[in-house]
Amino acid sequence: MLAIGILGGGLAVVTLRNVIHSAVAMMICFGSLAGMYALLGAPIIAAAQVLIYLGAISVLILFAIMLTQAGDASLPAPFHRQAPIAVVIALVVVGLVAWAVVTTAWKAAPAAAAVAVEAVGNLLFTDYALPFEIIGFLLLAAIIGAIFLARRPEEDERAN
Amino acid sequence: MASLQGYLIVSTALFGIGAFGFMARRNAILMLISIELMLNSVNLSLVAFNAYIPGANNAGAIFALIVMAVAAAEATVGLALVIAIIRTRQTPEVDEYDDLKE
């Protein structure tokens, strides 16, 4: 059921002609993914998915679409001329990876093990403290870079 | 369905959809959304491995969290770039960006 939501949402994202419809389909896809994380016994990942993807990135993308869309009067053709080649390449990649998935003898447990929120928090601040700090620095750099890139040049001159 | 392979197949299919969207769509914002789809599919496989492989010790969950943070940073900078380009070129279609060809 959730898989249908994920894959249907994903397909709708890449095939719909209107960009805003694609963004809504993307939110459906991300919401189904959050449900699947909860199903896999990882509620912390599900919560992070809802907060980051459904909350932050979706709103960011919707804002970007609204800022850039001139109006839905003329919807251009959504695909490049090389779309058939892209279909073939994507299918080849999916086929190879699916073949690897099916033929490998996974040493998997029969049931999903739950992720304890407390254990993840402890690991994040002990064993994975350095990646955590690097992520913080990366986000700071991204914020500054985004402000710098999205600023209008003429505001620069007025500020000086 | 509820096995490791089922989750991995879903993840693979989502990655393929994202890769197709990235290669085939003409809209720059849609290309960024397709990248997000691919990152999400990798996250799904990481969480599935974490849940089903014994001895994973929650590493997959932490990797997934870190991937999400990096994806947020990437989306921020990517959308800022796209908005800056659209402001100068007045179109979101990537095949109109042919300044370097002339």
Share of chain A above pLDDT 90, in %: 28
Q: Is the pLDDT of residue A156 over 60?
A: no
pLDDT of residue B1: 47
DSSP string, B50-66: HHHSTT-TTHHHHHHHH
Would you list the domain boundaries of chain A?
1-69, 116-160
Which of B 51-90 lie inside 8 A of A, CB atoms?
Answer: 51-54, 57-58, 61-62, 64-66, 68-77, 79-84, 86-87
A28-32, A110-114, B21-25, B40-44: which range is least confident on average? A110-114
Q: What does the radius of gyration of chain B's CA atoms come to, in whole angstroms? A: 17
- Chain A closest CA to B5's CA: distance in Å? 6
pLDDT of residue A66: 84
Question: Can you read off the two tokens belonging to residue B40?
Answer: 């999400």
Would you list the domain boundaries of chain B?
4-93
Task: Please give the average per-residue pLDDT across B19-38, as a whole number.
Answer: 89
pLDDT of residue A130: 92
Domain A1-69 has CATH 3.20.10.10: no
Q: What is the ipTM of this complex?
A: 0.86
Mean pLDDT of chain A: 84
- Chain A closest CA to B39's CA: distance in Å? 11
Residue A26 to residue B36: CA distance in whole angstroms: 9
Residue B41: pLDDT band (50, 70, 90) is very high
Domain B4-93 has CATH 3.30.1360.120: no
Residue B27: pLDDT band (50, 70, 90) is confident
pLDDT of residue A159: 59
Q: Is A14 in Cβ contact with B24 (below 8 Å)? A: yes
Contacts of B64 (CB under 8 A, 6+ apart): A42, A45, A48, B43, B46, B47, B50
pLDDT digits (tens, 9 = 90+) for A116-129: 888 888 888 888 99
Residue A133 to residue A130: CA distance in whole angstroms: 5
pLDDT of residue A103: 86
Question: Can you read off the two tokens belonging to residue A100?
Answer: 């690897």
Residue indicated by tokens 């490791």: B4
Query: Higher model confidence: residue B70 or residue B94?
Result: B70
Q: Is the pLDDT of residue A22 over 50?
A: yes
Q: Is B27 in Cβ contact with A19 (below 8 Å)? A: yes
Residue B70: pLDDT band (50, 70, 90) is very high
pLDDT of residue B54: 80
